[in-house]
Amino acid sequence: MQVLLVEDDPELAEGISVFLEGQGDTVEVAMDGNQADRRLQEEPFDFALVDVGLPGLGGYEVVRRLRRRGQSLPVIIITARDALDDRIYGLDLGADDYLPKPFELSELAARMRAVLRRGGHAEATRIVFGPLSLDPEGRLAELAGQPIALTAREWDLLRALAEADGRTVPKDRLQAEGSGNVVEVYISRLRPRLEVGGILIRTVRGFGYRLELAGPARRDNAG
C-alpha cells in the first residue's frame, strides 16, 4: 500500500515508516497538516495515518477536508489525546479508527488490516490502468487477465507508473538504489511485457516516464 503518515515527531515517524516499509508498504511522511492536505489532493494514497496535534492544520481538520472532498481512503487517527470525547469526535469526522499513543507497532498493523477488511476498502486499493490491474495488498500484477511475473523492483516501478494514471512520474522518484542507468534497465525489462497488452511506457526526456494506452487499447478503454 501507499501510506501517508502525518506525524510531526521525527523519531516516531521514522519508527513507523521503517516498520511499515518492512512489511512491503510505501510510506510518505508529512510533518504538518498543510503539507498533508496538499499531498492528499495530489496523490492517490491507499491509507492515511494522521496525528492530531500538528503544525498548521490540525489532524482533525485534515480528516474533515479529505472526507468533504469525497475521498474514501481508510484513515486511522494516532494521537496522545485519549479522552472519550476526542475519540468520538475523530470517528464522527470520518476516521475509520482511533489509536491512542503510545502503541505497539504490531497493534497498528493489525488495526490497519482490520480497517481494510471493513467497508470495501480492500477492493478500493486495486490499481487499474486500461488492461493492467495491480493488487497492492498481494503485490500481484495482471495484464488482460494474465499474471505478470515481476521482481520486487519491477513491481515498485510499475506501481508508481500505474498510480500516476498517465501522468509523468519524475525519474528521481523512480530511481533505484545505486546510480547510473538503473531505472532504464528496469524500464527496458517492463516495456516488452506491457506492450503485448497494449500499454506503452513513454520516455519524457529530461524528466521521467509515463504509461500510455496503445491505439486499439485506447479506443477500447474510451468506449
- Give 144-159 pLDDT, tens digit per residue: 888 898 888 888 889 8
Distance (Å, whole) CA 152 – CA 203: 22
Find out whether 221 and 130 touch, Cβ atoms under 8 Å: yes
pLDDT for 109-119, tens place per residue?
A: 988 988 887 76
Q: Residue 26: beta bridge partners?
A: 2
Q: Which has more pLDDT, 30 or 94? A: 30
Q: Output the pLDDT for position 181.
A: 62
Domains and CATH numbers, the chain: 2-124 (3.40.50.2300), 127-222 (1.10.10.10)
Average pLDDT over residues 133-142: 81
Distance (Å, whole) CA 198 – CA 194: 7
Give the DSSP letter of residue 101: S
Distances (CA, A) of 137 to 58, 79, 93: 30, 26, 26
Q: Output the pLDDT for position 219.
A: 35
* Average predicted confidence (pLDDT) for the chain: 84
* 10 band by pLDDT with thresholds 50, 70 and 90: very high
* 137 band by pLDDT with thresholds 50, 70 and 90: low
pLDDT for 156-210, tens place per residue?
A: 889 889 888 888 988 887 774 444 468 888 999 999 999 999 999 999 988 899 9
Using a 10 angstrom Cβ sphere, with 0-12 exposed, 13-18 middle and 19 or more buried, the burial of residue 133 is middle
Q: Output the pLDDT for position 203.
A: 94
Q: Which parts of 31-166 are beta strand (E)? A: 47-51, 75-79, 97-100, 127-129, 132-135, 140-143, 146-147
